[in-house]
Amino acid sequence: MQPEKVYSVALTSYLATGGDGFTAFKNGTKQVEGPPLLDSFSPISFNQAEVLPRRK
């Protein structure tokens, strides 16, 4: 990474608010909050028996 560049990241609210010591994320700009993580994955993980294709 280069200090003079601007980067976009996607992460959980836990990390965005400084969880696990990742306090640098708290200083981010243009923060956008999305749906809770569980809401994002529940249609996939709870409504389908298989998420990934089977390997041959």
- How would you write 3-35 as a 3-class SS string? CCCCCCCCCCHHHHCCHHHCHHHHHCCCCCCCC
17-36 pLDDT, tens per residue?
888 888 888 888 888 887 77
With a CB cutoff of 8 Å and minimum separation 6, the contacts of 2 are: none
Instruction: Kindly state the tokens that stand for 50.
Output: 């298989």
The pLDDT score that the predictor gives to residue 1 is: 84
> Is pLDDT above 60 for 45?
no
Radius of gyration of the chain (CA): 16
The pLDDT score that the predictor gives to residue 7 is: 85
pTM of the shown model: 0.49
> Is pLDDT above 80 for 52?
no
